[in-house]
Amino acid sequence: MRRVVLNLALLAGIVLFLALRMVGPSTTQQRNIEFFPDMARGLRFNSFSANPVFENGATLQPPVPGTLRIDTFEWRSGRGESDYVPAIGEERDNPFQAGDAAAMERGQVVYEAWCLPCHGATGAGDGPVTTRGYPEPPSLTLGGAVDMSDTLLFQIITLGGFEMPAYAAQIVPSDRWRSILYLRELQRREAAGAGGQP
C-alpha cells in the first residue's frame, strides 16, 4: 500500500514536471524565473517615444535656451580649413599678409595662448614654464627661426619638435598661419630694436 502511494506521488511529480516544461519558456538562453529584476531591467525610453517624466511628454529634449551650435564659431568647426594645409613638399608663403589687422590680432591671441608659455611674450625663449624646469627653447627672433620659411614654421607648429609638442590638435591650420604672422611681427620688432641687425 505504501509503495502504491509512493509510485502515485512519483507519477504525479513526473506529470507536473512535464506539464511545467510544456507551458514554461522553451529557451535555454534565458532564465525563466527572476527575483527582483528591477536593477537588471530598468525603466527606459526610446529617443522618440512618449515620456511621462518630462512636462512636454517627449523623451528627446530640445537644447537649453542659449545653446550655440558648434559651428557658430568658424574657427572651431574646422570648416574650410583644409585649404590652409600645404601639400607634402609644397612650399607656401603665409596666406595672411602683414597689413591684415584682424589676422594680426588673432595671431597675437593664438601666440599668447599657445606659444608664450614656452617661447615668452617677445619670443626670446623665456616663457614662464622655463622657470619651472622646462628646457629653454631657442630665441624665435634671433635664432634659426628668423631664416626659416613660413612653411617650415607651419610644419614645426603642426608636428612639434624634439621637446616641443605638436599643436595640430589644438590650433586649426588658419590660426597656425596667423600665429606665424604675429611671430614675423615679433621678429621685425626685434630687428628694428637692434638697429636693423637681427
Amino acid identity of residue 153, one-letter, is L
Interaction pattern, residues 150-189, with ligand HEC; x per rule: CB under 6 A: ---x--xx---xxxxx-x---x-------x---x------
Q: Is 106 in the site for ligand HEC (CB under 6 A)?
A: no
Does 145 help bind ligand HEC (rule: CB under 6 A)?
A: yes
Q: Cell numbers 584682424 label which residue?
A: 102
Nearest to ligand HEC of 58, 148 (CB atom): 148
Whole-number Å distance between alpha carbons of 168 and 85:
11
Binds ligand HEC (CB under 6 A): choice among 94, 96, 106, 115: 115
Shortest approach of ligand HEC to residue 119 CB, angstroms?
A: 5
Q: Is 117 one of the binding residues for ligand HEC (CB under 6 A)?
A: yes
The values of phi and psi at residue 160, to 5°, are 80, -175
- Distance (Å, rounded) from C-alpha 173 to C-alpha 116? 18
Contacts with ligand HEC by CB under 6 A lie at 114-115, 117-119, 135, 137-138, 140, 143-145, 153, 156-157, 161-165, 167, 171, 179, 183
